Amino acid sequence: MMKLYYATGTCALASYIALEEAGAEYSTVKISFATNEQRSPEYLAINPKGRVPTLVTDRGILTETPAMLAFIAQSFPKAKLAPIDDPFAFAEVQAFNSYLCSTVHINHAHRPRGSRWADDPAALDAMKKKVPETMAASFDLIESKMMKGPWVMGDSYTVCDPYLFTLAGWLEGDSVDIARFPKIKAHRHHMAERPAVSKVLAAQKG
Ligand SMILES: N[C@@H](CCC(=O)N[C@@H](CS)C(=O)NCC(=O)O)C(=O)O
């Protein structure tokens, strides 16, 4: 049985939804950012990066969303959450998820977590101001070039979809109007209709 450490409103939502879609047996532990629990000695002993998500498996501990999503998809092949038997198609899934992880997430982090990169208040302010522009540019690229539609990879739902759903959920807070991206906006509606998604969103609130 796997155990997911998550915090509400974070990228951990993607793995949470993927576990649910996979039909996995798992438990969850909510980490409180309000009390900085991700920096507590107890949590750092589990994930020394001090971030969520963390997935405890019977093989060991995994971090990094793209790795966790690939692991979930490969561990539950019947759920068909990725084209695991097709090296090129699987690499396309990894390329999409890597872009979300290494570019889009980092764009966003410059608003709430600018102190990772600078201490100077003017630099922090400049980083925050740039976020609407960098997030919009990334989502323009996803909308026009990367997302096949209706799901990210076309007709098949994959682990890319909960990840896109999660990061698209940050657009409003980053002052980007999702109406600019009709495919991504429709994707959010399709996602919200999935039982796994509503179940996880309700569980996160509880
Ligand atoms: N590359 C990691 C990023 C993990 C990450 O930065 N998570 C954020 C939440 S979205 C976090 O835990 N932040 C806590 C902090 O910075 O203290 C992944 O994709 O899983």
**CATH architecture label of 87-194:** Up-down Bundle (1.20)
- Residue 50's nearest CA partner among 70, 69, 31, 29 is 31
Determine the distance separating the centroid of ligand 1 and the alpha carbon of 49, expressed in angstroms.
Answer: 9
Please write the tens of the pLDDT for every residue from 190-203. Answer: 999 999 999 999 99
CB under 6 Å to ligand 1: residues?
10-11, 38, 50-53, 64-65, 101, 105, 113
Please write the tens of the pLDDT for every residue from 96-150. Answer: 999 999 999 999 999 999 999 999 999 999 999 999 999 999 999 999 999 999 9
Cβ atoms 103, 50 nearer than 8 A: no
Determine the distance separating the centroid of ligand 1 and the alpha carbon of 200, expressed in angstroms.
Answer: 19
Determine the distance separating the centroid of ligand 1 and the alpha carbon of 174, expressed in angstroms.
Answer: 17
Place of tokens 């997430």: 105
Which burial class, exposed, middle or buried, applies to 96 when counting CB atoms under 10 A from its CB (0-12, 13-18, 19+)? buried
| Token representation of residue 122 | 């003017």
Q: Where are the domains of the chain?
A: 2-80+198-205, 87-194
Ligand 1, from 69, 105, 167: best to mutate by most atoms within 8 Å of Cβ?
105
Kindly indicate whether the domain formed by 2-80+198-205 is annotated with CATH number 3.40.30.10. Answer: yes
pTM: 0.98
